[in-house]
Amino acid sequence: MDKNLDGWLSGFLGMLIFSGSLPATRIAVADFDPVFLTFARASIAGLCAGGVLLLFRQARPAKGDLLSLLIVSLGVIIGFPLLTALALQHVTSAHSMIFVGLLPLSTAIFGVLRGGERPRRVFWLFSGLGSACVAGFAFFQGGAGSMVGDGFMLAAIIVCGLGYAEGAALSRRLGGWQVISWALLLSLPFMATAALLLQPADWSRIGTPALWSLVYVSLFSMLIGFVFWYRGLALGGIAGVGQLQLLQPFFGLTLAATLLGETVAWPMVAVTGVVVLCVAGAKRFAG
């Protein structure tokens, strides 16, 4: 299979998995404290990642890679999950998609700053147009926000874009699943200790939907999704493949409507068509 196509397919699978993250987090924070949820999901994923690294006898990263792994940890393991969990106490998961629409642009910018990529000027036109379409659609469909929730989401998008770009650049040397696994293992001692200290006093009050949501955001959002996503970014290009996340809000809004009963109107289909064209244009001019 063509390397570029392989990267885009891997990135698409990663994007599909991430689409369930915000709806699942919305369900989880109904019963879990958002800070505990952040630590718990990273701890569960970190234990699994450590087991996989041990099973496949992976060599330790070089000392020069530790700073990059720390940035990945702070961006996508601690920063984005914590900030979005805090935001979803104030806004709906549908409204949060406004900001997810800005994530591909954030990833592309950090791809230039940290990954050394140089997309053509036309790429930025398609990227900006796609982001504007997603943000505008989600704004009109997602209901009113709040200053606090919007502030948390904006910060989440910035740190996540940095974590994506840094991890993708590192994946070219270590491999996609190795990067997220080592980043999870690096943060595990702190995350596991904090999770134990902050765990619910009475687990019997935690509902089944919240428990299943914790499983999803731990195994899929925190580990499995990144295996595909970092591989896709490394093979297909950070800026280009990152534009696939323009489609994530539409999958996420569909899940929000299905699982949470949040309103999603028919114009989503039309806007999705425009976004698909933007993603295709960004793919053509990314390199």
What percentage of the chain exceeds 70 in pLDDT?
89
**pLDDT tens readout for residues 16-36:** 999 888 888 888 999 999 999
- Concatenating the DSSP letter of every residue in 170-218 gives HHHHH-HHHHHHHHHHHHHHHHHHHHHHHS-S-GGGS-HHHHHHHHHII
Q: What is the reported pLDDT for 270?
A: 67
| More confident of the two residues 268 and 154 | 154
Compute CA distances 186 → 66, 114, 143, 183, 215, whole Å: 9, 21, 39, 5, 21
Mean pLDDT across the chain: 86
Nearest to 14 by CA among 258, 222, 282, 239: 222
- What pTM value is reported for the model? 0.85
Q: Determine the Cα–Cα distance for residues 133 and 82; give it in Å rounded to an integer.
A: 26
**Ramachandran category for residue 116: left, alpha or beta (phi over 0 → left; psi -120 to 50 → alpha):** left
pLDDT at 274 over 90: no
Q: Where are the domains of the chain?
A: 3-198+208-285
**pLDDT tens readout for residues 182-235:** 999 999 999 999 999 999 999 999 999 999 999 999 999 999 999 999 999 989
Q: What is the reported pLDDT for 99?
A: 76
Averaged pLDDT, 120-130: 82
Q: Determine the Cα–Cα distance for residues 227 and 181; give it in Å rounded to an integer.
A: 9
Half-sphere exposure of 240 (CA within 13 A, CB side): 22
Q: Determine the Cα–Cα distance for residues 262 and 16; give it in Å rounded to an integer.
A: 19
| 277 backbone dihedrals φ, ψ, rounded to 5° | -65, -40
Q: Determine the Cα–Cα distance for residues 261 and 255; give it in Å rounded to an integer.
A: 9
Averaged pLDDT, 145-149: 76
Q: Determine the Cα–Cα distance for residues 80 and 61; give it in Å rounded to an integer.
A: 24
- Concatenating the DSSP letter of every residue in 56-106 gives TTPPPPPGGGHHHHHHHIIIIIIIHHHHHHHHTTTS-HHHHHHHHTTHHHH
pLDDT at 264 over 80: no
| More confident of the two residues 242 and 210 | 210
| More confident of the two residues 203 and 278 | 203
Averaged pLDDT, 257-266: 64
Nearest to 238 by CA among 276, 287, 275: 287
Q: Determine the Cα–Cα distance for residues 111 and 100; give it in Å rounded to an integer.
A: 17
CA 193 to chain centre: 24
Q: Determine the Cα–Cα distance for residues 196 and 40; give it in Å rounded to an integer.
A: 8
Q: What is the reported pLDDT for 69?
A: 96
